Amino acid sequence: MSRADDLLSAARAAGAMLATAESCTGGLIAGAITEVPGSSDIFDRGFVTYSNAAKQQMLGIQSRTLETHGAVSEEIAAEMADGALARSEAALAVSVTGIAGPGGSDHKPEGRVCFGLAQRNGPTRTETVEFGAIGRAKVRQATVDHALELLISALER
């Protein structure tokens, strides 16, 4: 049984609909969830907001936040998760923004991903994970795996 299967079971048990807001994964989290038969019971929608313009138009990200913190920041991850929650029927939304590579900088290295988790009945939480320069595909897969774990953990509380 995959973690996406586990997520489906946990969301069903909690009676919760989910949404995703993705940048560096380009929809892979939504894809992992909807790969599971019956996921329409718990998955409302996904936002793929790769560009800053898409983040602003689709999720309501503030230009001031982008200018102050940059797209790869916990502040943007929080606004993405909050925006997905506000623009969906979901009770729980996860967001990701990061640098899958190749590239990065000393300030924001390759493999850095910021996560947001917003819930209707609770505060929005954020965290940053440094996956390291393990390659684009591995960073993206590790991001999907971590996002699924965040959702499962939130549902099991």
* pLDDT tens figures, 92-116: 999 999 999 998 888 889 999 999 9
Q: Are the C-beta atoms of 101 and 135 separated by less than 8 Å?
A: yes
pLDDT digits (tens, 9 = 90+) for 43-94: 999 999 999 999 999 999 999 999 999 999 999 999 999 999 999 999 999 9
Is the model's pLDDT at 3 over the cut of 80? yes
Contact indicator for 106, 152 with CB cutoff of 8 Å: no
Q: How many CB atoms lie within 10 A of CB 68?
A: 11
Average pLDDT of the residues in 17-34: 98
Tokens at 108, concatenated: 């924001």
> Could you tell me the strand order of the sheet in which 122-130 lies?
43-48, 18-22, 92-98, 112-119, 122-130
Average pLDDT, the chain: 96
Look at residue 104 in the predicted model and tell me its pLDDT: 82
- The H helix count followed by the E strand count for the chain is 6, 5
